[in-house]
Structure 1
Amino acid sequence: MTSAKSVNLSGYTDAVIRELQHTLRQVSDESAGQLVERILQAQKVFVAGAGRSGLMMKAFAMRLMHLGLQVYVVGETVTPGLGRDDLLIIGSGSGETKSLAGMAAKARSLGASVASVTVNPKSTIGQLSETVIELRAAVKDSSNPEKTTIQPMGSLFEQSLLLVLDSIILSIMERKGTDGSTMFGQHANLE
């Protein structure tokens, strides 16, 4: 039987929290407010992302559903067609994921609104978006010394994405005059 070697868990979590605070303090309140407005004006909201960013977008979709909004995850079998009065929100660190860029271009061609949360607002997806929230977080293979992180690959972006989107939910809750107990009525009940 080998003994377990201790880890510096509190040191790592402290470093991660510092990185998150630094990244999140740079997010534009104006951009976040624009996204809130677009969500509230949309007939239907569609979300998309790839990999771990896609998981954060699914978590966001769940909370939007709890708020009583019509929301869909692109690629799911029950997702309807996107129309002119709808909004597509894409979470992509690089803003260059080919499948997501194709979705953004298609949404624009259909007359729908596109919003994105990305590290790179000048990316293909960023340029196709009317609303962009920039997260100044390190992403995979970052060569920018200002965007360094102790975390692997896109972890800082993905964590920041979840926290920004949860903050968007709080803003929508305030605007709609709702609370968590009201939202719980929309929670899945077949579990």
Structure 2
Amino acid sequence: MNYTEAQKGITEEILHTLGHIESESVDDLLAEIKKADKVFFVGVGRVLLSLQAIAKRLAHLGIKTYVVGQITEPAITEKDLLIVGSGSGESAFPLIIAQKAKKYQARVAHIGANPDCSMKEYSDVFVRIPVSTKLQLPNEVPSVQPMTSLFEQSLLLLGDTLALMLIREQDIDMPSLWEYHANLE
């Protein structure tokens, strides 16, 4: 396989996947983000990397974001939102954190691929990215890419889509966003 064939396969998968995310669930997630005092993120591995990028972008838009475990993480409260990224919805650490967030009456949004998972018990909002998970369930959409790459890529682009929706909704002047960009680089 050459570069052209590989990138075409990947971009077609991403286009197909993003096109099959239910827009109502994205609207629900956006509403939760907007009403939260603080937005926390939890995931593991490459999913966590995508979530960190989403947290950074939303922070550029003036939203108070925190990644669970960061040194400056404040307490979560009933006024806050925890966004869990877990394709399978079965990863142990995000499940434990979601359970703790509910103990403090925080809202929980799960972005994942598997609607029938353990995370369902703790989720107020679910956004399904319809791709295959590490569980390899019969109803999952297969990918030409290794492991769960398609989920992680789609998660990142979903975050950028949410940011663009906020920018347009709030009529934010994009050049003004640079004032929130890191300047100690």
TM-score w.r.t. length of structure 1: 0.93
**Number of equivalences:** 185
Question: Alignment partner of 2:47: what SS?
Answer: helix
RMSD: 1.3
Residue of structure 2 in register with 1:185 after alignment = 179
Residue of structure 2 in register with 1:33 after alignment = 27
Query: Deviation per CA, 1:80-134, whole angstroms, max 9, x where unpaired?
Result: 1101100000111111111100111111110100001100122111331111100
Larger gyration radius, structure 1 or structure 2:
1
Deviating 4+ runs (over 4 angstroms) = none
* 1:179 positional shift: 3.4
CA gap 1:146/1:98 in 2 versus in 1, 3 angstroms: closer
2:108 matched to 1:93? no
Residue of structure 2 in register with 1:126 after alignment = 120
TM-score w.r.t. length of structure 2: 0.96
2:54 to 35, 50, 60: 60
Question: Alignment partner of 1:27: what SS?
Answer: coil
Query: Deviation per CA, 1:14-69, whole angstroms, max 9, x where unpaired?
Result: 00111111111110110000111110100011011100000000000000110011
Unaligned runs of 5+ in 2: none
Deviates more, 1:100-109 or 1:169-178: 169-178
2:40 matched to 1:46? yes
* Equivalent AA in structure 2 for residue 154 of structure 1: T
Question: Alignment partner of 1:144: what SS?
Answer: coil
Residue of structure 2 in register with 1:14 after alignment = 8
1:167 to 155, 161, 167: 161
